[in-house]
Amino acid sequence: MSQTNPNPGQPAPAGLPERLQALADRWSDWQDELGGVLGHDLQRVVAAAAARQSRRCDQAARLATAAWQPGQTAGVLHYAVDSLQRTLLFWDTLRERGNDFIELYRAGNPPLLAFDYETLIDGRNFDEQPVNYALVRILPPAGVTIDARKRPYLIVDPRAGHGAGIGGFKPESQVGVALRAGHPVYFVIFFRDPVPGQRLRDVAAAEARFLAEVVRRHPDSDKPCVIGNCQGGWAVMGMVAAHPDAAGPLVINGAPMSYWAGTTGHNPMRYSGGMLGGSWLAQLTSDLAAGSFDGAWLVQNFENLDPAHNYWQKFYKLYAEVDTEASRFRDFEKWWGGYVTLTGSEIRAIVDNLFIGNRLAAGEIPLDRGETLDLRRIRSPIVVFCSEGDNITPPQQALNWILDVYRDDATLRAFGQTIVYLRHLKVGHLGVFVSGSVARKEYTEIVGTLDAIERLPPGLYEMLIDEDGRTPAGDPRYRVELAQRSMSDIVALDTDSRREEDYFRVVAALSELNAKAYDLLASPVLQALAVPESVELQKMMHPLRAGHWAFSDWNPWLTALGPWVSWARSMRAPVEAGHPLRQLEQLWVDGIGDLFDLYRDTRDMSVELTFYGLYGFLNVLGIPKPGERERSATSDAERVQREIAAWVDGHIASGGYLEGYARMALLLFHAQGGIGRDGFVQVLERLDAMPEVAALDREARRRIVREQSLIIAHAPERALATLAELLVTPGERERALAALDALFAGEALSDAAAALRKLLRSTFDSGTSGPVRSGSPGRSRKSSPAA
């Protein structure tokens, strides 16, 4: 008997053979994933660590023999005195760090900016829902002149456990670079304790209000550049997506926009949500603390990523270089130990929507007006800065959202969006924000390139920065290239091909289930039993805070060291770094660090294997997962593509000299594959000098570029073939070709660009005159559906 489909409008359900085949395919994929995880085998890691330890033992034996040679007694005693003095100064520095912690805690952990500032708007005074955020204006230091007509900068720091200030932590920083370039700089700070009832959407509304105030203060300037660091990056992206006309270029640094992304064997932090069973644990922590969440727990997660550095090597560096390192150590620890608090609602929204749900890139975060937060609404150019050495936000997490939001290069250009990314090869997560060398190189070049980036044709680019000689003062001089890229270049960065993201969808499903069970069965009871008076005690007893105040003047054992510390400072007798016993000391320290790394590697491999084993098996069983809704033929992406195709058909032969010339220039630009920043600036200057272009306002110029880029992206061959219908007379064609040669004068054309230049000439030589056009160059026309 034949079966009929009871729902003719829906596809027929798969039969048993198809379901079994799908199950077999999932089983095969799961086993491949497990095999990939096991490929990072423990035996290889242990063997490498053992080999390093063996080499160190040989070196240690030689150094010990050299140190204990006859006649070396004085050197040994000198080292012993130096070691004792360093020990005393080390503990005294920890005591001072503890005192700093207590002093700042009593003061409410104010922002640690290295610049003076004035508060413009304090969100705690809002009539509506107040928030613990404020807008401040950075006051330029002596010798720095600000040009109020230049583009203002607004910097948003992350509230991820630490206090505000990382973007302006020292003179060589994001704030310092923008100030020295003459730009007005504003900073979004936050205070340690949130306002009761504060939600993440309230913070976003406050940040939008701050941005509007910056725009109001600079009516004659270009729209502000907004910089978002780490979690401040996704906050900025969400805020501008909700208010797309408010900002100029966006710069997001080390921002985890696609939290599921990463590579096997390298990025273990993304498994935390799955290993903890979802977001319920964050809610439990908040309920036990009467509705507040201690950011020190987030910081502890960061520290556990690299135990060798955080629990051993940074303290040894202080001990080994205590004469010069103490001040820097204390300055950094003031920020690192300035833990802040979030409301239970805030941490729940962050974990559910970003860390576990990954809903920002998917466009699934709801807004008040019944819409969802769609990143495609952003019209500002976006600069993404990430690093291969960042184990908290690897490049995959910083870039894969582009694939999710735009899917292909044609769609990216269709929405008129320009995205530029740059990758550092080795700096760590904190170095992305605080490294002086990064500020002097990457941030300086970003600031110097933003105006050019804002006028790039829509598309994906990579910013390449290479040293190109030295200045007369001896400082490095850099050459910046804006190289065209495609979505395939981002895909190539993810060696796992994103297959494992199905497992994270299972985590999201399980998290929703556990959270509902917790909210129903446990949360009401724990909230009723919570004692608000105990919250401060809970905070102070957190291991990270206790590790600060326990080594302070509250500890009588450390205050008793005072006379000995005075002796050590007055009689300081350091040993040179090349002393055999100092080298032996360094070998011992490196050996302990290797043991920490071995522990970390085995722990991470165990966690990864458990994650893939558990959630891979649940994925094989076909657990329903968010994000697997069937996409109909009338999906938003397909609808937009149809509208764009119809618009291109109607406008590909519409326009005049300026549209034809812009299309030729864009075709040549894309064939060139990239262009140096200085050369591109010269191209823009020549373009602006053309009478037809000079007569247009900024938005009209951008509209022509967007529309012609859209035509080229969707119909490149037809775009070339219809040029003769835009440039009708031989005189116009010769004039356009001559202008094109002048535009790229000084730029060495690539083989592809040179071939296209010849093709343009032959196209016009063989083309026939098109129909007589009406209107004038640059006339107002209906814009593209995406625009």
List, for residues 724-753, the tens digit of each pLDDT value.
888 888 888 888 888 888 888 877 788 888
Q: Which two three-digit tokens encode residue 515?
A: 């959270």
212 vs 154: CA distance, rounded Å? 11
Give the tens place of pLDDT for each residue, 700-721: 887 888 888 888 888 888 888 8
Instruction: Provide the pLDDT confidence category of residue 123 given band limits of 50, 70 and 90.
Output: very high
598 vs 272: CA distance, rounded Å? 20
- The helix/strand count (H/E) of the chain reads as 36, 13
Give the tens place of pLDDT for each residue, 678-692: 888 888 888 888 888
Question: Which of the 8 DSSP states describes residue 8?
Answer: T
CA contacts within 13 A on the Cβ side of 447:
26
622 vs 509: CA distance, rounded Å? 12
541 vs 560: CA distance, rounded Å? 24
Structure-token match 């094109």, residue found: 740
Which of helix, strand or coil describes residue 223?
coil
Number of other residues whose CB lies within 10 A of the CB of residue 378: 23
Q: Which helix (H) or strand (E) holds 389?
A: none
400 vs 258: CA distance, rounded Å? 6
Identify the residue with better confidence: 639 or 298. Answer: 298
Nearest to 527 by CA among 537, 515, 518: 518
Residues with Cβ < 8 Å from 9, sequence gap 6 or more?
none
Give the tens place of pLDDT for each residue, 42-69: 666 777 777 777 777 777 777 677 666 6
215 in Cβ contact with 165 (< 8 Å)? no
Average pLDDT over residues 600-606: 88
189 vs 117: CA distance, rounded Å? 11
Task: With a cut of 50, say whether residue 634 has pLDDT above it.
Answer: no
Rounded to the nearest 5 percent, the helix, strand and coil shares of the chain are 60, 10, 30
136 vs 112: CA distance, rounded Å? 13
Identify the residue with better confidence: 308 or 33. Answer: 308
Structure-token match 């894309």, residue found: 670
747 in Cβ contact with 481 (< 8 Å)? no
Predicted TM-score (pTM) of the model is 0.87
